């Protein structure tokens, strides 16, 4: 399907307006405190000079050398933030005001602009059942808005989901530790092994995007549904109470299994829905991480 460029730019503009204000008024400072650590790191030692702060003396080196040396610190190096984003067929689904792809775009824009304001680099990997596109980390607002355009432009992709393959690709191309946001509905073949490896190498945050219609079916009678990734069509009778109940129970079990996996691997997670704003969920994540860092 051809991309409607005017509609695409309208969506990008809307997201930019929403997220710019939120980042400026609320998230920029919180992002810095959550992801920046101490702000400085050890650089080197050098000989003490008159006027230097005596509290900076390195007593171990001083004892070995026989005269005073001090520790020098530099600004903590910039962070690298990578967005690993699912653009498979299921991301085009949305029963509310937004699709899952639009929700992902809004979330990515919010986080990317927060990173840009803190002078961090941002990169992106778009995947379905293969790696669709990969953008190496770069600085600047232009990189953030390109990220949004690419997510929205890929909304009509009709492919499956290989999250395990995407995580393996991430670990191959991103050698240095990064903050990695995984944006997906996590409806994929087993990926626990690859998730565990990625969590060891990176600060991993999993953002699970869902839609209300994936949790419960309406009593709408006989309806035709299509798998957005395989194209397979099903006819189901939603008047059946047993069918609706089984559907809801399976959805709840899947969500519980995913949350248990994240907890077991000690991975921070966001649970988002297409029918509610992403800001409150992001703010809650930041506050949880801040509280954890204060308590050790």
Q: How far is CA 136 from CA 104, 116, 124, 245, 280, in A?
A: 19, 15, 7, 45, 29
Residue 96's pLDDT is what? 78
DSSP lists the bridge partners of residue 213 as: none
Residue 193's pLDDT is what? 96
Cα–Cα dist 181/217, whole Å: 30
Q: How far is CA 68 from CA 51, 65, 212, 218, in A?
A: 13, 8, 66, 76
pTM of the predicted protein model:
0.78
Residue with tokens 């979330």: 107
Q: Are 77 and 122 in contact (CB under 8 A)?
A: no
Pairing of strands 179-184, 203-210: parallel
SS3 category, 197? helix
What are the start-end ranges of the E strands in the chain?
40-47, 69-75, 80-86, 121-127, 131-138, 179-184, 203-210, 222-226, 233-237, 268-273
Cα–Cα dist 97/250, whole Å: 25
CA dihedral of residues 134, 135, 136, 141 (deg, nearest 10) = -160
Residue 272's pLDDT is what? 93
Domains and CATH numbers, the chain: 49-75 (no CATH), 78-294 (3.40.50.410)
Residues in the chain: 296
CA dihedral of residues 278, 124, 148, 86 (deg, nearest 10) = -60
DSSP string of 149-191? HHHHHTTT------HHHHHHHHHHH--S--EEEEEE---SS--
Residue with tokens 């509610």: 276
Residue 37's pLDDT is what? 46
pLDDT values of the chain reduced to their tens digit, one per residue, 296 residues? 444 556 656 666 666 665 666 666 666 667 766 775 444 555 578 888 887 887 888 888 889 888 898 887 655 557 899 999 999 988 888 887 788 988 998 888 888 888 888 788 899 999 999 999 999 998 877 877 787 788 777 755 567 899 999 999 999 999 888 999 999 999 998 999 999 999 999 999 999 999 998 898 888 888 887 777 777 888 888 888 998 899 889 989 999 999 999 999 999 999 999 998 888 888 888 888 877 766 65
% helix, strand, coil for the chain, step of 5: 45, 25, 30
Cα–Cα dist 32/101, whole Å: 27
């Amino acid at each position: 399907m051809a991309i409607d460029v005017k509609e695409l730019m309208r969506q990008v503009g809307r997201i930019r307006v929403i997220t710019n204000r939120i980042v400026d008024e609320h998230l920029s400072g919180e992002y810095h405190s959550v992801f920046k650590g101490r702000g400085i790191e050890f650089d080197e030692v050098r000989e003490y000079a008159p006027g230097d702060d005596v509290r900076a003396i390195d007593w171990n080196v001083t004892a070995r050398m026989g005269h005073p040396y001090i520790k020098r610190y530099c600004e903590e190096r910039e962070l690298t933030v990578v967005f690993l984003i699912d653009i498979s067929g299921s991301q085009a689904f949305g029963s509310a005001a937004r699709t899952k792809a639009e929700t992902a775009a809004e979330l990515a824009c919010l986080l990317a602009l927060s990173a840009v304001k803190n002078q961090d680099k941002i990169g992106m990997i778009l995947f379905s059942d293969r790696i669709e596109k990969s953008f190496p980390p770069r600085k600047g607002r232009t990189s953030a808005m390109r990220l949004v355009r690419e997510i929205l432009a890929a909304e009509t992709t009709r492919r499956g989901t290989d999250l395990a393959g995407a995580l393996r690709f991430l670990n191959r191309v991103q050698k240095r530790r990064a903050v990695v946001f995984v944006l997906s509905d996590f409806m994929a073949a087993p990926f626990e092994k690859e998730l565990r490896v990625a969590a060891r190498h990176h600060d991993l945050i999993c953002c699970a995007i869902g839609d209300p219609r994936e949790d419960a079916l309406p009593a709408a009678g006989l309806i035709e549904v299509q798998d957005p990734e395989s194209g397979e069509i099903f006819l189901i009778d939603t008047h059946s109470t047993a069918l609706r109940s089984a559907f809801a129970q399976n959805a709840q079990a899947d969500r519980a299994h995913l949350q248990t996996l994240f907890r077991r691997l000690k991975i921070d997670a966001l649970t988002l829905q297409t029918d509610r704003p992403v800001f409150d969920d992001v703010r809650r994540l930041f506050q949880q991480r801040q509280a954890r860092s204060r308590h050790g």
